[in-house]
Amino acid sequence: MKALTICALLMAASLFAGEEETVKPLQMKDAQSPSGRHLISLIHGRDKESGDPTAKLALRERKTKRTLDTVPVEVEGTDDRKDVSVLWSPKGTYLAVNLHLGQLYWFDVFRVVDEKFEHLAEEKMPKEFERRYFTPESQKSRGGSSAIKWKNDSTLGVLDTIHRLRLTYRIGKSGLVMTNVERWKDDE
């Protein structure tokens, strides 16, 4: 009788556990630098106060796996469609980090200096680009911008799915500078 009671309790516990909402953690494949010296990994954890899930990108030595620096990554939301991807620049000086949460996309760029992440802010967009391509109506769509390819060590190609644009950024003295905007065609 004792075994049956334990079995019933285990079955009830598994039924109630199924009611709990589970959210898939943020996903990412490790990304090795072009030199092979560094590795970018994703570290999962929990906030000490709230218990909410957290995630950090970690810059690591590839051989020893020693963590050199970390930067937090936003993981809010219950949508299971979430992942991070990393594009190293050809010489490994810069890192474009794409974040995908549900139907929203965005990217950040970091410089790796003295084995630390240095965030590069986007400089104010040239007015002619803003007036011509970025209207208030277009901000209501879902999507966003994703880094797609480094053209060289200081020029990054970005695809903006909200505005249906190809953007080109270059690394300037104080951050990212948008240098070119082109509409993309439906057949591309």
Q: For residue 132, give the DSSP letter.
A: H
- Judge whether 120 lies within some domain: yes
- Judge whether 47 lies within some domain: yes
- Judge whether 3 lies within some domain: no
Under 8 Å between Cβ of 126 and 170 = no
Condensed to tens digits (0 to 9), the pLDDT of residues 81-104 reads: 678 889 999 999 999 999 887 777
SS3 of residue 3 by DSSP: helix
- Judge whether 105 lies within some domain: yes
42 token code pair: 């994703």
- Judge whether 67 lies within some domain: yes
We report the CATH number of the domain holding residue 112 as: 2.130.10.10
Total of domains in the chain: 1
- Judge whether 145 lies within some domain: yes
- Judge whether 4 lies within some domain: no
The pTM of the full predicted model, rounded to 2 decimals, is: 0.76
Condensed to tens digits (0 to 9), the pLDDT of residues 106-144 reads: 899 999 998 999 999 988 878 888 777 776 655 555 678
Q: In what order do the strands lie in the sheet with 67-73?
A: 31-32, 38-46, 53-61, 67-73
- Judge whether 86 lies within some domain: yes
Any idea of the CA torsion for 24, 34, 36, 115, to the nearest 10 degrees? -80
Expressed as residue numbers, the domain containing 148 is 24-183
